[in-house]
């Protein structure tokens, strides 16, 4: 089946449902934390994304079925003095993995980033997610480091 990848319209109810449903499927997966989305998140996610001018999402469809998504945010690289795209969430429905959906989505995201004049695309990946890491390497991603002497950058967080 042909896969179509589009930029989601947060005002489109079909797109909104697809994004929330696919994010919930991803959240329930061990690689997404293994817990379903809270009801308040399901209810407020799309309006919250729509209020952020630097947010955009893409959806992959196989016919009328949403089979993959990415939630992204445009940031800014001070070292390059150019925008960047951070892929915050990226997932393909389990039954559609291995069918080229993720690669099509990555190609779409790279096209969007180039159109926006971005200097790079960033993402986070769990150390044990070997399938995702293999895809990202095939798409040209690698560990982030300024110089060999400084080592790899680490992604840290502090909950508030």
What is the structure's pLDDT at 145? Answer: 85
What is the reported pTM? 0.94
65-77 vs 55-62, strand pairing mode: antiparallel
For residue 30 the two structure tokens come to 């061990």
What are the structural domains of the chain? 3-143 (3.40.630.30)
The number of C-alpha atoms within 13 Å of 22 and in the hemisphere containing its C-beta is 28
| pLDDT of res. 155 | 87
pLDDT of residue 136: 96
Low-confidence ranges of the chain (pLDDT < 70): none
The CA–CA distances, whole Å, from 5 to 42, 54, 117 equal 23, 20, 20
pLDDT score recorded for residue 135: 95
Percent above pLDDT 70 for the chain: 100
How does pLDDT run across 23-50, given as a tens digit for each residue? 999 999 999 999 999 999 999 999 999 9
Angle at CA of residue 124, ends 120 and 130, nearest 5°: 115
Output phi, psi for 97, to 5 deg.
-70, 145
H helices, E strands: number in the chain: 4, 5
What is the per-residue pLDDT for 148? 85
């Amino acid at each position: 089946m042909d896969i179509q990848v589009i930029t989601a319209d947060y005002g489109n109810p079909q797109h909104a449902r697809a994004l929330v449903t696919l994010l919930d499927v991803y959240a329930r997966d061990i690689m997404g934390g293994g817990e379903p989305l809270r009801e308040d998140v399901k209810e407020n996610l799309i309006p919250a994304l729509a209020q952020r001018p630097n947010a955009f999402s893409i959806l992959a469809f196989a016919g009328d079925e949403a089979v993959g998504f990415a939630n992204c945010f445009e940031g800014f690289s001070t070292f390059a003095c150019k925008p960047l795209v951070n892929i915050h969430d990226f997932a393909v429905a389990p039954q559609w993995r291995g069918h080229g959906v993720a690669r099509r989505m990555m190609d779409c995201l790279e096209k969007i980033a180039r159109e926006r004049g971005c200097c790079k695309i960033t993402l986070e990946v769990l150390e044990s997610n070997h399938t995702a890491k293999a895809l990202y390497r095939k798409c040209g991603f690698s560990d982030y480091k300024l110089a060999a002497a400084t080592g790899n950058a680490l992604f840290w967080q502090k909950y508030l």
